[in-house]
Amino acid sequence: MVSKDEIKHLGWLSRLELTTEELDRYVSQIDEIVRYFDKLDTIPLSESEWTYSTKEVSELREDANRVFKWEKLQSLKNRKDGFIKGPKMS
């Protein structure tokens, strides 16, 4: 059973401040969805048989620096004196 505290905590980790109404709704909806995911538990496999492959990427591009011109970033909203503005760290 998904709990209110779990969803609240995951919301905080994801930087989402949920309202009480959102929290109540998400708890019951996500509980239903995650219970549906429990279907995955019925895969008839023992742990030693767990395998999966990942897609291969044959060649990686050289990790070279590409200069991105400042004019290209004209659409940035939060700028000041040639810098990008951000909130205070604490």
Partner 1 sequence: MPNHLYRLTANQVTCGIKNGQFSAQEYIFQILERIEKVDNKVNAFVLVDKQGAIEKALSIDKRLRDGEAVGELAGVAVGIKDNICIKDLKTTCASNILESYIPPYDASVIRSLKENDAIIVGKLNLDEFAMGSTTEFSRYGPTRNPWNLEYVAGGSSGGSAASVAASECAVSLGSDTGGSIRCPSSFCSVVGLKPTYGCVSRSGLISYSNSLEQIGPVGKTVLDVVMVMNSIAGIDENDQTTKPIRPIATLTSEDITKSNISSKYTADQNKRNITIGLVKELIEGADPAVSKCIYSAVDLFEGSDCKCEETSMKSIQYALASYYTIATAEASSNLARYDNIRYGFEYDPEGYEWNTYFSNVRNNFGDEVKRRIIIGSYVLSAGYYGKYYLRAHIAREMIRQEIKSLFERFDVLIGPTMPILPFKIGQKIDDPLKMYQIDIDTVIANLAGIPAISMPIGFSNSFPVGLQIMADDMCEQTLFDVASFFEKIVDVRRSPEI
Residue 5 lies near partner 1 (rule: CB under 8 A): no
Cα 31-33-37 angle, rounded to 5 deg: 110
Helix (H, G, I), strand (E, B) or coil at 16: coil
Binder to partner 1 among 3, 4, 16, 24 (CB under 8 A)?
16
- In the chain, what's the furthest Cα-to-Cα distance? 61
* One-letter identity of residue 6: E
Binder to partner 1 among 1, 46, 48, 59 (CB under 8 A)?
59
Residue 51 lies near partner 1 (rule: CB under 8 A): yes
H or E element, residue 78: none
Cα 20-24-29 angle, rounded to 5 deg: 145
Binder to partner 1 among 48, 61, 64, 81 (CB under 8 A)?
61
Which residues of the shown chain bind partner 1 in the complex (CB under 8 A)?
A: 2, 6-7, 10-11, 13-18, 22, 26, 29-30, 32-34, 36-41, 43, 45, 50-53, 55, 57, 59-61, 68, 72-78, 84-90
